[in-house]
Amino acid sequence: MTDSARTPPAPAPAIRPGGIAARAMGARPAAAYLEGLNPEQRHAVETLDGPVLVLAGAGTGKTRALTTRIAHILATGKAHPSQILAVTFTNKAAREMKERIAALVGGVAEGMPWLGTFHSIGTKILRRHAELAGLKSGFTILDTDDQIRLLKQVLQAENIDEKRWPARQLAHLIDGWKNRAIGPDKVSAADAGLFANGRGPDLYALYQERLKILNATDFGDLLLEPIRIFRENPDILADYHRRFRYILVDEYQDTNVAQYLWLRLLAQGSHNICCVGDDDQSIYGWRGAEVDNILRFEKDFPGATVIRLERNYRSDGHILASASHLIAHNEGRLGKTLQPQGDIGEKVTVNGAWDSGEEARTIADEIESLQNKGHALNDIAILVRASFQMREFEDRFVTVGLNYRVIGGPRFYERAEIRDALAYFRCVVSPADDLAFERIVNTPKRGLGDASIALCHAIARAQKIPLMAAAHIAVDSGELKPKPRAALKDVLDHFARWSARLDQITHTELAEIILDESGYTEMWKRDRSADAAGRLENLKELVRSMDGFENMAGFLEHVSLVMDTEGGAGSDAVTIMTLHAAKGLEFDTVFLSGWEEGLFPHQRSLDESGRAGLEEERRLAYVGITRARKRAKISFASNRRIHGMWQTSIPSRFLDELPEEHVDVLEAPATFSSSYGRSRFDGLAPFSSSYATPGWQRAQANRAAPQAETFRRGPRVIEGELVAKSTGTSAYPVGTRIFHQKFGYGHVAMVEGNKLTVDFDKAGQKHILDSFVEPA
DNA sequence: GATCCATTTGTTTTT
DNA sequence: CAAATGGATC
């Protein structure tokens, strides 16, 4: 959240909350932190009593208002740090908020125990009252992966064909229900019918039962269980009412029903709830966010003060005007008009390309020329709708030798080796963690297959004990063959030894011993595949990252709630990421690629959510444009390979929704000048192969000096792909009479690989892929 | 019980 | 086109 990056934070006064200075200031706050706020921001900061909705457009200083408000509450002595509940969605946002409050107030922020994500605060509450939810306080938190594996077991036990009814799909449904705070008994008939002939709710209930047996929760429960506890125990709720004098919510437009209910329950106490958000930036509807929450705020919280932040300090005039004009096409918005504060700046540009390769090349060229003019690569970003688009840019940047970084993709804690290692740790800390145990009993391979595991499961179920305990019995009983029996005994002995040392040595040492003695490290050392070295490195990194924690249990809790790792800014590099990932960030120059019907707006959005889907896509476009401070450069490609098939598409309807007077169209949509049709091999023509290009050589040089820009994967080696593909011969030699769906009849004028230049009788000369024509 | 091949299925992503 | 999954085979 760098919304107000350009209005420097006021110097931090060191005021001890509740101290004499603070109380004295409460009478007449002329605090320095209020300086530099515009009137609306100041209003948002100083309206402390009653419900407040701050509608903060992109780049209007939202985070600043929020953090200053907290500083103000503290400085005026209205509440202690521990009496403020401040919730965010991501750990990153929570971290930033903490830092900024600390900067404003001077170090008091560590004393804010209730500043965190919905889930971390939910966990905290649930741990205190776990027994009321049928759990023990040390419950484990399952991630999506565990959740699906658990559901698979449920489906198996119920004899449901997993082929026809995949566990993943059920997980989605249950997630959706939990997002809407719907318990197994409240699922609507329509929803129930969606899975296994109406068995959905039934399976949902069984899943919940299994969770309790495992002493585990999924992410949804972290909010739902507290809601249940609050509803069933008014005394507990009253306790929290007394505790939380002020409630603050960031990104309110992203809340789902469960989060809304949770907040509403807590806000019934003081009524001092302040929600900050922007309905125009609601882009997470597909994972349960209800824009309606923010649209309905005044009804939900009667007497609410609504404050609009509309002065945009980020983007230049043309950019802002374009974004505003575009988003105005949405219905059902609260309506804000962003007012530019700076220069009119450069017009937004729209550029059409023949295919995605050319798009990437054009953008890479533009970036190089910006770089030559002295622009830092760190100030440049490429935003795409779908992650498959990133590849084309990566390929191009490698050949050209441009430094880039990719944000997104599989995260650190989602990597197999990390999850395996964590499963070992989980087993040591909580021997009843069946899912973890099952994950690693046979990793590395120990000769324990389905048969042995099935036996353990049978014992566990019969005696209602955890898997590991059942495994002990299995070893003692004579039911296993000698080999698996010895192997299983060996593992169990290891675990017994590790558990015993839990309190004797530091958790970091223990972690190393576990990975070593289990043979897990050895397994990757023996692995000859290319990424084995990286995996070992990741394991080291994991152990290193445990250092900052009290103990193993503390570390594991952190991991289950914090799925992100600090990806250092590193060296100067262009950022490539999805539009979703870009929310909250800003760059001088933003390239918005792939504005084609079907990709953006995405076809699936339109198919599945219709009008609402289209509006969400439009908001995504709005988010994209408003990331730019100085330059927004939109592009589209007529041809793109999707699932290996070339597809032709028309420019996005969003392009037509931009205001002409603020946009420069560099390439007229729909007609493509022949200079662009010469395909992706243009730039390489003078060289015998791509290896000979200066860019390739530069890329080689760059690779030699290792750079830690491997957020997701290293720059991809393309191994002459560009030349290889050009040799395909077309089935349509020059002069062939052909027919095209859209352009009608014509004859082939030129052939390049699978690309044809065709003189159409009516439509003139066009560049077409041979797969789109047929012999006339 | 492990390995290999065929089939499937491909937005966006946090906790 | 490619990754990931699951079934069939050794």
* pLDDT tens figures, A560-607: 887 666 555 568 999 999 999 999 999 999 999 999 999 999 999 998
Percent share of chain A, pLDDT over 90: 54
- A710 — pLDDT class (breaks 50, 70, 90): very low
Query: Is any atom of strand B within 7 angstroms of residue A293's beta carbon?
Result: no
Residues in A 140-179 whose C-beta is less than 7 A from nucleic strand C are 162-163, 166
Phi-psi region of A408 (alpha: psi -120 to 50; beta: other; left: phi over 0): left
A60 is annotated as contributing to ligand binding: yes
Catalytic hit among A251, A280, A596, A770: A251
Conformational region of residue A352, where left means phi above 0, alpha means psi within -120 to 50, and beta covers everything else: beta
Residue-level pLDDT at A531? 75
**For A86, what's the count of Cα atoms within 13 Å in the CB-facing half-sphere?**
28
Report which residue is nearest nucleotide C3 when distances run from CA to C1': A643
Lowest mean pLDDT among A19-33, A166-180, A244-258, A756-770: A19-33
Find, among A468, A476, A486, the residue nearest to A428 by Cα: A468
Contact A138, A430 (CB under 8 A): yes
Q: What is the mean pLDDT of residues A540-567?
A: 84
Q: Is the CB of A644 under 7 A from strand C?
A: yes
Question: A159-179, pLDDT tens digit by residue?
Answer: 888 888 888 989 999 999 999
pLDDT reported for residue A506: 94
Pick the catalytic residue: A40, A41, A62, A361?
A62
Burial of A153 (0-12, 13-18, 19+ CB in 10 A): middle
With a CB cutoff of 8 Å and minimum separation 6, the contacts of A234 are none
A467, two tokens: 């898997």
Task: Report the alpha-carbon distance of residue A495 to residue A424 in Å, rounded.
Answer: 9
- Does A762 contact strand C, using a CB cutoff of 7 Å? no
- The spacing between the Cα labelled CA in A164 and the C1' in B6, in angstroms, equals 19
- Is A486 (CB) below 7 Å from strand B? no
Measure, in angstroms, how far nucleotide B9 C1' is from residue A2 CA. 38
C1' of B9 to CA of A639 (Å): 22
Per the annotation, does A736 bind a ligand?
no
The number of C-alpha atoms within 13 Å of A493 and in the hemisphere containing its C-beta is: 9
Phi, psi angles (nearest 5°) of residue A77: 75, 20
Q: What is the average pLDDT score of chain A? A: 83
A643 contact to strand C (CB, 7 A limit): yes
Contacts 24+ apart (CB under 8 A), A728-732: A728/A753, A728/A754, A729/A753, A730/A754, A730/A755, A730/A756, A730/A770, A731/A770, A732/A756, A732/A770, A732/A773, A732/A775
Nucleotides of B under 7 A from a protein CB: 1-3, 10-15
Q: Is A63 a catalytic residue?
A: yes
A361 vs A524 pLDDT, higher one: A361
The answer to the question of whether A90 is labelled as a binding residue is no
Q: Which of A37-46, A400-409, A720-729, A748-757 has the highest mean pLDDT?
A: A37-46
**Does the active-site annotation cover A231?**
no
